[in-house]
Amino acid sequence: MNSKAAAATAPVEERASTRDDLLTAASELMCERDTLSVPIIDIAAKAGVNSALVKYYFGNKSGLMRALLHRDLAEAVTQLEALVEMDMRPTAKMRYHLSGLINMYFKYPYLQRLLTTTMRDETEEVRSTMIESYIEPIHHAYKRMISDGVAAGEFQPVDYKFFYFIVIGACDQIFSSRDVLKYMHGVDRIDDNIRRSYTEQMIAVILGGLTART
The verdict on 208 binding a copy of itself (CB under 8 A) reads yes
CB under 8 A: which stretch of 3-11, 43-51, 75-83, 161-169 binds a copy of itself?
161-169
The CB-of-29 to a copy of itself minimum distance in angstroms stands at 16
**Single residue of 5, 85, 162, 196 touching a copy of itself by CB under 8 A:** 162
The verdict on 150 binding a copy of itself (CB under 8 A) reads no
| Binding-site string for a copy of itself from residue 81 to residue 110, where x marks contact by CB under 8 A and - marks none | ------------------------------
Helix axes 90-107, 160-176, angle to 10 degrees: 30
Q: Tell me the one-letter amino acid at 77.
A: V
The long-range contacts involving 204-207, CB below 8 angstroms and separated by at least 24 positions, are 205/170, 206/98, 206/166, 206/167, 206/170, 207/91, 207/94, 207/95, 207/98
Nearer to a copy of itself, 9 or 107 (CB): 107
Cβ neighbours of 53 (radius 10 Å) = 22
CB under 8 A: which stretch of 9-17, 64-72, 95-103, 203-211 binds a copy of itself?
203-211
The verdict on 202 binding a copy of itself (CB under 8 A) reads yes
Length reported for the chain:
214
Cα–Cα distance measured from residue 15 to residue 166, given in angstroms and rounded to the nearest whole number: 41
Nearer to a copy of itself, 22 or 190 (CB): 190
| CA neighbor of 174 nearest in space, from 149, 151, 154, 191 | 191
| Binding-site string for a copy of itself from residue 109 to residue 138, where x marks contact by CB under 8 A and - marks none | -------x--xx------xx--x---xx--
Cα dihedral 148, 161, 177, 171 in deg (nearest 10): 0
The verdict on 80 binding a copy of itself (CB under 8 A) reads no
Q: Is 59 left (phi over 0), alpha (psi -120 to 50) or beta?
A: left
**Single residue of 169, 188, 191, 196 touching a copy of itself by CB under 8 A:** 169
* 2 touches 52 (CB < 8 A): yes
The verdict on 192 binding a copy of itself (CB under 8 A) reads no
- The residues that touch a copy of itself, with contacts defined as CB under 8 A, are 34-35, 116, 119-120, 127-128, 131, 135-136, 139, 156, 158-159, 161-174, 176-177, 179-180, 183-185, 197-198, 201-202, 204-212, 214
